[in-house]
Amino acid sequence: GSVLKIEEAQVQDTGRYTCEATNVAGKTEKNYNVNIWVPPNIYGSDERAQLTVIEGNLISLLCESSGIPPPNLVWKKKGLPVLTDSAGRVRTLSG
């Protein structure tokens, strides 16, 4: 047999790999579709952001993330999900 090892997988290693066996009697192959997933990362997550807002003004918190597949983002306050209110005062925008 044969083993193909790729150490420290990177996104660029994603793709189709083929093991091909040939001899005088013929040829056969086995295909492997390799996907590389990347853990979620939130930009600036190592720093705590401090924000002071005057009452009555807009609070706008930006959370930018990356990952493969793209991570789902959930806003929480004191460990509980922040819910959109019916008046539209609190809302979450994706994109």
38-42 and 26-34: which strand pairing? unpaired
pLDDT, position 9: 97
pLDDT, position 84: 83
SS3 12: helix
The reported pTM is: 0.69
Exposure string of 17-49, with b = 16+ CB inside 10 Å and e = fewer, is eeeeeeeeeeeeeeeeeeeeeeeeeeeeeeeee
Per-domain residue ranges of the chain: 1-94
Please state, in angstroms and rounded to a whole number, the distance separating the CA atoms of residues 89 and 73. 19
How does pLDDT run across 27-82, given as a tens digit for each residue? 999 999 999 999 999 998 888 888 999 999 999 998 999 999 999 999 999 999 99
pLDDT at 13 over 80: yes
Please state, in angstroms and rounded to a whole number, the distance separating the CA atoms of residues 90 and 20. 57
